Amino acid sequence: MTFKRSSGILLHPTSLPGPDGIGDLGPEAYRWVDFVADSGCTYWQILPLNPTGYGDSPYQCFSAFAGNPYLVSAALLLNEGLLSLQDLEDRPIFNPEKVDYGPVIEWKKKIVKRSYEHFIKSTNKHLLDEYKDFQDNHVSWLPEYALFTALKDEHGGCSWVDWPEDYRSRKPDVIERFKSTHPRKIDEVIYEQFLFFRQWKALKQYANERGLLIIGDIPIFIAHDSADAWVSPYMFTLNPDGSPSSIAGVPPDGFSETGQLWGNPHYRWEVHKSSGYEWWINRITSCLETVDIIRLDHFIGFCRYFEIPGGSPTAQIGEWKQGPGEDLFQAIKNRLGKLPIIAEDLGVVVPAVTDLLNKFELPGMRIFTFAFYGDDANSFLPHNYTRNTVAYTGVHDNDTVIGWFTSSPESIQAYCLDYLGTDGKDISWDMIRGIWRSVANMAIAPMQDFLRLGTEARMNYPGTQANNWNWRMRLDYPDNDLLKNIRRLNQLYSRINHTPE
């Protein structure tokens, strides 16, 4: 699918300002939508919206279908009478510039539980009908996810692989007994999902009415500790006891002598093919109910993937396997029509990936901060872009432009300045201008780069577990000068989105 000449800003909702320790779907999210729309951008890009698991990463989620309850807005619940002012009197004082996930999760769980107390006493027929409709419309995943989450809570939050065997293997009479003895615990999970999807649907509708499209993200792999793996272990490379027989990662390279061990189970692609890739079609369909365009992470993995034996301490031993490739995407296209997909095709150039992108007219990605290593044939240099490309200054896994530039060798800095024809005093905006004026149909930059922030605002350090995903934007970010400057940029380079007033 080819997109028009346009632009966007990358910012995950957790990074928004707000009083509850983490960005949410409340008033600040609406103010943000107005800012992006008024700046003349077309896209708001976000990270996965699923419930975060290990390391608080949106790429290690407890479900590929559920939503993140920590994004639920207390302010919106208060406005609807689903919370009272008294419910918020013990709100902790949170750091406004970093998400401290431990206290935040504890507080958000309290908010949802208190809201549930109001809900079960409600006589609002419209609200109760909405709740019933929500359950009916998400029956393919919601009951099992609620059961999984309730069981996980009952077992102290440990991985499902460590549950007693009867629960781990889903012994029918044991599962039914748990359902009958813990109906409230399960219903609370359903309610938190109802709140998330209700609030997100309203926010997305508002964004679309302002002329904005939302770019979402699908990680290629599921988390091992997830409802997906527990419910359908036969779809993934899992042993009878639930442990992975093989796991994902990449072999040793110039960046790591032992490779990268991600730990996610692989797909049993032959099982998926036998069903016509129904699980994947459902996953894409579900995601497109919450976003307008999908960014598929680690796109190369659909062509080939590195399979590491389960239990391996490093990624030094493994073998390359062939992915489903064209077969999968043809099945999705046959069901859904045109594919509103951006392929994260970064890394080693593989001809099969290029062929797949061309066949389905999928745009790939180019990262400007990758451009100054090598010669003038580097595909990340803007003069080598093609139109059906999404150009970024950087993404969530990279340092900010300023952080990258100040930590780069002098030779790289000199090459960058020479290429841009600048003195580097405003390197962040120089780089933004570099991709905005390129031929790439889509140009997107993280909000950190528009704000001229350094490494302190970096979102993620791949391969590490601490101090990730916690950057938050200050309350005073959306000043008129910044908005006018972004809008002028869009006007100068024919990327302006004439949003409805």
- What residues are annotated to the active site? 297, 344, 397
Q: Rounded CA gap, 439 and 423, in Å?
A: 24
Burial of residue 410, with CB atoms counted within 10 A of its CB: 0-12 exposed, 13-18 middle, 19 or more buried: exposed
| Bridging pattern class, strands 43-45 and 6-10 | parallel
Q: What SS3 class is residue 419?
A: helix
DSSP string, 23-47: --SSHHHHHHHHHHHHTT--EEE--
DSSP string, 108-154: HHHHHHHHHHHHHT---HHHHHHHHHHHHHTTTTHHHHHHHHHHHHH
Q: Which helix (H) or strand (E) holds 479?
A: none
DSSP 244: B
DSSP 11: -
- Quickly count: other Cβ atoms within 10 Å of residue 474's Cβ: 10
H helices, E strands: number in the chain: 18, 12
Structure tokens at 394: 């950087």
Q: Which residues contact 122 (CB under 8 A, 6 or more apart)?
A: 82, 128
Q: Rounded CA gap, 371 and 345, in Å?
A: 15
Q: What SS3 class is residue 249?
A: strand
Q: Rounded CA gap, 62 and 55, in Å?
A: 12
The DSSP bridge partners found for residue 424 are none
